[in-house]
Amino acid sequence: MGKAHIDLNNKTILVTGSPGFIGAFLVLRLLKDLQGGTVISFDSMNDYYDPALKEYRLSLIERAAKESPVRHVFLRGSIADKALVDRVFSEYKPSVVVNLAAQAGVRYSIGHPDAYIESNLVGFFNILEACRHHPVEHLIYASSSSVYGGNKKVPFSTDDKTDTPVSLYAATKKADELLAHSYSKLYDIPTTGLRFFTVYGPAGRPDMFYYSATRDLAAGKTIRIFNYGNCKRDFTYIDDITEGVVRVMQGAPEKATGEDGLPVPPHAIYNIGGGAPENLLDFVSVLQDALVRSGILPADYDFAAHRVPVGMQPGDVPVTFADGSGLETDYGFRPSIGIREGLRRFAEWYKEYYKA
Q: Contact, 91 vs 98, CB < 8 A?
A: no
Whole-angstrom distance, CA of residue 59 vs CA of residue 42: 14
Domain interval for residue 63: 3-199+237-275+321-336
- Give me the mean pLDDT over the 310-315 stretch: 77
Instruction: Return the pLDDT at 338.
Output: 94
Mean pLDDT of 20-33: 98
In a domain, 129, yes or no: yes
In the prediction, which pLDDT does 154 show? Answer: 84
The answer on pLDDT for 231 being more than 90 is: no
Sorted by sequence, the CB contacts under 8 Å of residue 117 that are 6+ apart come out as: 172
Question: Partners of 97 in the beta sheet?
Answer: 14, 139
pLDDT digits (tens, 9 = 90+) for 130-159: 999 999 999 999 999 999 987 888 899 999
Say if residue 275's pLDDT is above 90: no
Q: How far apart are CA 128 and CA 35, in angstroms?
A: 28
Residue 226 is assigned to a structural domain of this protein: no
The reported pLDDT for the residue numbered 356 is 66
**Catalytically annotated residue among 116, 169, 210, 237:** 169
pLDDT of 309 strictly over 90: no
pLDDT single digits (tens) 158-201: 999 999 898 999 999 999 999 999 999 999 999 999 999 999 99
Whether 267 maps to a domain, the answer reads yes
Statement: residue 312 has pLDDT above 80? no
| Crossing angle of the two packed helices 82-92 and 124-133, in degrees rounded to 10 | 40
The total number of structural domains that make up the chain? 1
DSSP-assigned states of every residue in 34-102: -SSEEEEEEE---SSS-HHHHHHHHHHHHHHHHTSSSEEEEEE--TT-HHHHHHHHHHH--SEEEE---
Kindly give the pairing relationship between strand 223-225 and strand 96-99.
unpaired
Find the mean pLDDT for residues 81-101.
98
Closest by alpha carbon to 293, among 232, 348, 253, 229? 348
- Which of the two residues, 211 and 225, has the higher pLDDT score? 211
* 354 classed as catalytic: no
Answer yes or no: is pLDDT of 301 > 90. yes
Grade residue 335 by pLDDT with cuts at 50, 70 and 90.
very high
159 lies in some domain: yes
Instruction: Kindly report the CATH number assigned to the domain that includes residue 85.
Output: 3.40.50.720
Kindly state whether residue 44 falls inside one of the protein's structural domains.
yes
The proportion of the chain whose per-residue pLDDT surpasses 90, expressed as a percent, equals 81
Domain-located, residue 271: yes
Per-residue pLDDT for 222 more than 70? yes
Q: Could you read off the pLDDT of 96-112 as tens digits, one per residue?
A: 999 999 998 888 888 89
pLDDT of res. 32: 98
In a domain, 223, yes or no: no
Residue 210's pLDDT is 96
Confidence of residue 252 (pLDDT cuts 50, 70, 90): very high
Give how far the C-alpha of residue 54 lies from the chain's centroid of Cα atoms, to the nearest Å.
15
Q: Is 166 a member of any domain?
A: yes
Predicted confidence band at 321 (pLDDT cuts at 50, 70, 90)? confident
Is the pLDDT at 228 greater than 80? The verdict is no
Is the pLDDT at 355 greater than 90, yes or no? Answer: no
Range in 12-16, 250-254, 256-260 the model is least confident about? 256-260
What pLDDT score does 125 carry?
98
Give the chain's radius of gyration (CA, Å): 20
